[in-house]
Amino acid sequence: MKKTILLTALVLNGLTSFAQSNDEKNIKLFYKKALTEAKCYTWLEYLSNDIGARLSGSKGAELAVDYTKRQLESLGLDKVYLQEVMVPHWVRGQKETAYILDGKTKTNVPICALGGSVATPKTGITAEIIEVQGIKELAELGADKVKGKIVFYNRPMNPENIETFMSYGACVDQRYAGAKEAAKLGAVGTIVRSMNLRLDDFPHTGAQSYGDLPKEQYIPTAAISTNGAELLSKSLKVNPALKFYFKQSCETLPDALSYNVIGELTGSVTPENIMVVGGHLDSWDLADGSHDDGAGVVQSMEVIRILKNLNYKPKNTIRVVLFMNEENGGKGGAKYEEVSKQKKENHIFALESDSGGFSPRGFSIEADDVNLKKIQAYKDLFEPYLVHSFTIGHAGSDISHLTSQAIVKAGLKPDSQRYFDYHHAANDTFDAINKRELELGAATMTSLIYLLDQNGIEIKKAN
């Protein structure tokens, strides 16, 4: 035991050195700690199985705030506190029902209301249905062919992309803005194919927006499972005049008070410079959100736990932030930036985990060429851990609000092949999490935080 403690002390004693050999030793130690002593899996088990769904404004969200704050306090950090934020409070109501009505034949299909949708009338909606591949095709049809009908958006995610988030980004507009655009043409409702690469019976919810439409023009909108979408499309080809029925009772309540949960280790050299690591504490209401984004929450907590456990003294202030309301409003990220501006804080780096708890493959980076190359130069250090992708790309929704001068941002990139099997669906549950993959992600995040804390970022000098 004494030899182990001595080895740890000797390794950490060299943390101020920039030599790659020390970096290699320290990163190996981070992975060892994550794979042998991590708490992230246990934390996630409680968040998922004891608390459950955590949509903003819900009791689950309230319990998650309290739980994560207590866990951060137990780590002995320099500061742990809550940051007030008002968040949307949308509730799903009773389970949705839907069926294809072909003559006298009723065929049930799985649907779920999209976040922020209005309810149907209490008796539901029955109308003819018109299938389109997207908003552009809908606009080309015009009001004459759309008025009084239910619009069925059926553009699938493209299976050809290895990076599945590219496929998601290419068709999610029909979910987010589909109801708004259909309402402008007089549609009475919309049904949207779930954002899912595989065929199954799970409808996937997600945020949608009516934009600047007056409330009297709002129409109900729901997602249909991919199997349901395939069946509906085939049925329409046989009988274009068939009808569709759906019923949902969701509603939007007044905004609710909630919190971002924050803990930090104060910097020993430049404490005014802040490095953030975080994920979003809220999840959709269909399941416990273990991948989206319970995994990112506990991985971020694990980063600061590992550093604290090793008695690491960061040069810069390292702050873990568990953001509230990423899913249906982004209020937590916006509030964090608002307070940061008021306090004139200087963020130099932000790292977000919001792509699931699968095996880490690299980082998606928002930085100028100089800092991008600096991070890419660390690639050899990550190679032994099968982490290899360091590319320009979106870092994360919550940290997108941060606007400090010269800030560098990164998002953890796990393997994405299975992510959309679970994303926003009822099967995003704890049993879908692999303990080892979750821990590897936490170690990978810890390593990047450490490297940038030690070596800093490059700030362009004003001309």
**Separation CA 281–CA 258 (nearest Å):** 11
Provide DSSP, 325-367: -TTTT-HHHHHHHHHHHHTT-EEEEEEE--S-SS-EEEEEEE-
**Separation CA 264–CA 401 (nearest Å):** 20
Question: Among residues 96, 181, 264, 326, which one is catalytic?
Answer: 326
**Separation CA 431–CA 454 (nearest Å):** 37
Residue 172 tokens read as 């999610």
Helices (H), 97-220: 135-141, 143-146, 164-171, 173-184
Q: Are 207 and 327 in contact (CB under 8 A)?
A: yes
**Separation CA 137–CA 89 (nearest Å):** 33
Which run of H or E residues covers position 264? strand 251-265
Residue 157 tokens read as 């995610």
Alpha-carbon dihedral angle through residues 206, 172, 320, 445, given to the nearest 10 degrees: 130
Contacts of 245 (CB under 8 A, 6+ apart): 97, 98, 99, 101, 106, 124, 125, 126
* Whether residue 326 lies in the annotated active site: yes
Which of 103, 191, 183 has its CA nearest to residue 148?
183
**Separation CA 175–CA 223 (nearest Å):** 8
Dihedrals phi, psi of 277, to nearest 5 degrees: -130, 130
Residues carrying an active site annotation:
326
